[in-house]
């Protein structure tokens, strides 16, 4: 169901790879709600994914950009405001990658070059994106910037590896930059802490299927899906959440506040 929540609003969506990705689902929902946007991803990710199909479906242009490159981001921001015909109302940062995870390196045996690369892509890139937007004065008043995160930023999940550290840094950037973006530009910045979700990136984590099932059994409402996350993101892009900023918002079916569920007790009582 569409409510026209984003009619006339413009933005940039980072990170759509394929139909499983949260950024992809969000782009579809934003389009349904009347928003227009530019799609962007790293050139290598664009070769792997099917972003062109999404662009055609939503009538969007694609601007390749490496989110760790200040030059690429400056170009992306300038071209996006030109293509869309004005300042931006929303930006989604849906980017994450751990080279250590991809290469099978454990948290106790990190390759620090891998760590630095993953941190740059997954966390520092959020600061770089916001700094590029801020310096170009590219955000409209009451605009909304959202990044995706995970509860491993607060609690230990053994196989989440160095991505947990990246997410903790990302959430801190949202609070710190969110203060200045709010004070000086009337723009809000939030992170959504999403349930484990069966995206292409998520499935790269060891033991992921067991974990997604555990989270589902722990959450009173069950896991939030990628579609659910797209809906929630739309509310944060809309004018209905104008005074919500610098928050880490748990979107996880209640997982974050559940000590133990009846299903888990029964599982261990067998």
- Who's near 60: CB < 8 A, 6+ residues apart? 27, 31, 36, 37, 38, 39, 54
Q: Is 178 annotated as a binding residue?
A: no
**Residue that wins the pLDDT comparison between 211 and 258:** 258
Give mean pLDDT, residues 202-209: 71
Angle between helices 226-237 and 22-32 (to 10 degrees): 50
| Identified catalytic residue from 107, 160, 179, 214 | 160
pLDDT in tens, 50-102: 999 999 999 999 999 999 999 999 999 999 999 999 999 999 999 999 999 99
Decide if 196 is inside a domain. yes
Least confident of 206-210, 235-239, 246-250: 206-210
Decide if 1 is inside a domain. no
Contact 119, 166 (CB under 8 A): yes
Catalytic residue check, 160: yes
Contact 83, 65 (CB under 8 A): no
Instruction: Please give the mean pLDDT across all residues of the chain.
Output: 95
Q: Is 12 annotated as a binding residue?
A: no
Decide if 112 is inside a domain. yes
Q: Is 95 annotated as a binding residue?
A: yes
Decide if 241 is inside a domain. yes
Burial class (CB in 10 A: 0-12, 13-18, 19+), 55: middle
CA-based radius of gyration for the chain = 18
- Number of domains observed in the structure of the chain: 1
Decide if 4 is inside a domain. no
Q: Is 15 annotated as a binding residue?
A: yes
- Per-residue confidence (pLDDT) for residue 204, from 0 to 100: 65
Q: Residue 150's domain spans which residues? A: 10-268
pTM over 0.95? The answer is yes
Give the domain CATH number at 15: 3.40.50.720
Instruction: Decide if pLDDT at 44 tops 90.
Output: no
Catalytic residue check, 150: yes
Decide if 3 is inside a domain. no
Burial per residue of 204-213, b for 16 or more beta-carbon CB atoms within 10 angstroms, e otherwise: ebeebeebbe
Decide if 130 is inside a domain. yes
Q: Is 22 annotated as a binding residue?
A: yes
Q: Report percent pLDDT > 90 for the chain.
A: 90
Q: Could you give the residue ranges of the DSSP H alpha helices within the chain?
A: 22-32, 43-48, 51-58, 70-84, 99-102, 112-119, 125-135, 163-185, 208-218, 226-237, 262-268
| Identified catalytic residue from 112, 134, 150, 214 | 150
Q: How many helices (H) and strands (E) does the chain have?
A: 11, 7
Half-sphere exposure of 112 (CA within 13 A, CB side): 0
User: What stretch of H or E contains 140?
Assistant: strand 139-149
């Amino acid at each position: 169901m569409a409510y026209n929540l984003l009619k006339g609003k413009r933005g940039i969506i980072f990170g759509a790879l394929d139909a499983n990705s949260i950024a992809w689902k969000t782009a579809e929902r934003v389009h349904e709600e009347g928003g227009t946007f530019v799609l962007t991803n790293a050139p290598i990710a664009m070769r792997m994914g099917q972003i062109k199909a999404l662009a055609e479906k939503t009538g969007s242009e694609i601007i390749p950009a490496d989110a760790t490159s200040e030059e690429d981001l400056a170009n992306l921001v300038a071209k996006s405001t030109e293509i869309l015909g004005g300042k931006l109302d929303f930006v989604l940062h849906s980017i994450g990658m751990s080279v250590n995870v991809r290469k099978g390196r454990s948290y106790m045996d990190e390759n620090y070059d891998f760590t630095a690369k993953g941190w740059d892509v997954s966390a520092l890139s959020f600061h770089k994106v916001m700094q590029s937007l801020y310096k170009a004065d590219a955000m409209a008043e009451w605009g909304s910037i959202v990044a995706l995160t995970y509860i491993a930023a607060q609690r230990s999940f053994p196989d989440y590896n160095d991505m947990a550290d990246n997410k903790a840094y990302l959430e801190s950037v949202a609070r710190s930059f969110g203060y200045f973006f709010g004070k000086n530009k009337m723009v809000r910045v939030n992170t959504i802490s999403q349930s484990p979700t069966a995206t292409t990136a998520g499935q790269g984590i060891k033991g992921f299927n067991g974990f997604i099932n555990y989270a589902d059994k722990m959450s009173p409402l069950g896991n939030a899906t990628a579609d659910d996350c797209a809906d929630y993101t739309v509310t944060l892009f809309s004018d209905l959440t104008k005074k919500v900023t610098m928050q880490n918002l748990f979107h996880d079916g209640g997982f974050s506040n559940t000590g133990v569920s009846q299903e888990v007790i029964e599982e261990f009582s067998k």
